Amino acid sequence: MSLLHFGRSHPAAQIAPPPSRPCVWRVGLCGGVLGAAPPTAMLSAMFPAATFRDVESAWPERGAQGFDLLIVGLNGADPSEVERAAARVAASAGRVEILVVLSGADIETTRRMIHQGAVDVLPAPVTDTTLTIALERIFCRLDTGRAQRRNGELVSILKAGGGVGATALATQAAVMLAGNPALNGVCLADLDLQMGMAGLYLDVADTVTLTQVLAAGGAVEDVPLASSLPAHNSGARVLVAPHEFMPVETLNPALVDSLVAALRRDFEISLVDLPTVWTAWTNRLLRQSQRIVLVTRLSVPHVHLVRRQLHMLEAQHLGDIPLTLVCNQMEADGVSGISLKAAEQAIGRAFDLVIPEDHRLMHQAINQGVALSALRRGSKIEAAIARLVDLVAASHVAPAALSIGR
């Protein structure tokens, strides 16, 4: 790794937005949100590409599957209703868009709903003109999103405390994945905004970082990540964390949606290195992940932190996303003073993978920005990370195909 690693930053390139094409949007009007006589006929005439259906329930939990957009009512004066709505909006990420019609509208509740990922918030009562303008904007956004969407896989990397080796594993896994010709594009996105090291661990140019990608404003999904992000010589593209201090709140659910859309469009697999903090946007990103990898070490404090993370995932209704629990930096027998079995019992589940400690090799790889195999072939740590790669890419490539050539 170059010790003087100062790249010159320049704005991200822009691509022309893809042409919008007509499609059918299914809209649910929930719980009489638009009054006793909803303007369904007017809406259908204005938006022939959309269907509007009354839904009895104020918030159709299961029925939401059949809709692209739900228009829901919310009484801003009822704190418990606001609380429930915030959780429901967050839980809708990636499944259905939510347009909130807010009575007793105030800025705080409006901002909260937008922050959780509502596509818009309109003060009640809604006039036909306001609704039409809002829907026009929303359909346009949905059109663009649908035209761009591709089904790349998002794998989020969480850690049980700092320094467990999450970034080291993510970088090595990305390099291995990129070496497989069967995979069409691999990206490591470092969203550890303040402490991100992925770019340094892989010694990639830092000409385009998250700062430049976000500078694209409301059009993050238009940035051609596959061609503009710096590449490691394995072929893995890296979305480098900002050099300068960036508050964690710089990202928000809407920006995350755009970023996820761009990543899924441009890469077959994106590994996302997340900060330790939980925020509305990390929640949103996890919710759109096809897999979560939780990395820890074998120590009593880390076991507690794993439990805390698992509880948090459950509490946030993220427990149904496939999770791979990795115990990293496993020392030679007995050194840590706690057995794997005892840790697994305390956690309440088994580790999916145990990765041995090899400080020397890992440090060398990080310092030179290379794959472990470039320094030594056939190490135990490399074999263990290869198993992680097999798990992560299982739905894309047969494990045997992935292991060939490593």
Interface residues with ligand ATP (CB under 6 A)?
A: 159, 162-168, 192, 195, 197, 328-329, 355, 357-359, 362-363, 366, 381
Task: Report which of 36, 43, 48, 46 is spatially closest to residue 73, judged by C-alpha positions.
Answer: 36
Nearer to ligand ATP, 85 or 294 (CB): 294
Q: How far is the CB of 132 from Mg ion (least distance, A)?
A: 47
Q: How far is the CB of 140 from ligand ATP (least distance, A)?
A: 38
Which residue is closest to Mg ion by CB? 167
Q: How far is the CB of 329 from ligand ATP (least distance, A)?
A: 4
Cβ-contact 133, 43 below 8 angstroms: no
Q: Which residues bind Mg ion (CB under 5 A)?
A: 167
* Cβ contacts of 108 within 8 Å, gap of 6 or more: none
Nearer to ligand ATP, 264 or 302 (CB): 302
* 3-state helix, strand and coil shares in percent for the chain, rounded to the nearest 5: 40, 20, 40
Nearer to Mg ion, 193 or 254 (CB): 193
User: How far apart (Å, rounded) are the C-alpha atoms in residues 389 and 177?
Assistant: 7
Cβ-contact 343, 311 below 8 angstroms: no
Among Mg ion, ligand ATP, none, what binds residue 12 when CB lies within 5 to 8 Å by partner kind? none
Nearer to ligand ATP, 289 or 328 (CB): 328
> How big is the CA angle at 134 (ends 129 and 138), to the nearest 5 degrees?
150
Alpha helices in 159-233 (DSSP H): 166-178, 198-201, 210-214, 225-228
Name the 3-class secondary structure at 210: helix
In one-letter notation, the amino acid at residue 327 is C
* Cβ contacts of 211 within 8 Å, gap of 6 or more: 9, 242, 243, 244, 246
Nearer to ligand ATP, 61 or 244 (CB): 244
Nearer to ligand ATP, 84 or 380 (CB): 380
Which residue is closest to ligand ATP by CB? 165
Q: How far is the CB of 385 from ligand ATP (least distance, A)?
A: 8
Nearer to Mg ion, 148 or 167 (CB): 167
Core vs surface per residue 70-99: b (16+ CB within 10 A) or e: bbbbbebeeeeebeebbebbbbbbbebbbb
CB atoms within 10 A of CB 349: 11
Both tokens of 118, joined, read 């509502």
User: In whole angstroms, how large is the CA radius of gyration of the chain?
Assistant: 23
Among ligand ATP, Mg ion, none, what binds residue 163 when CB lies within 5 to 8 Å by partner kind? ligand ATP
Residue matched to tokens 């009489």 = 32
Q: How far is the CB of 372 from ligand ATP (least distance, A)?
A: 10
Q: How far is the CB of 97 from Mg ion (least distance, A)?
A: 33
Q: How far is the CB of 376 from ligand ATP (least distance, A)?
A: 13
Nearer to Mg ion, 97 or 273 (CB): 273
Q: How far is the CB of 167 from Mg ion (least distance, A)?
A: 3
Among Mg ion, ligand ATP, none, what binds residue 366 when CB lies within 5 to 8 Å by partner kind? ligand ATP
| Inter-helix orientation angle 107-116/79-91, to 10° | 20
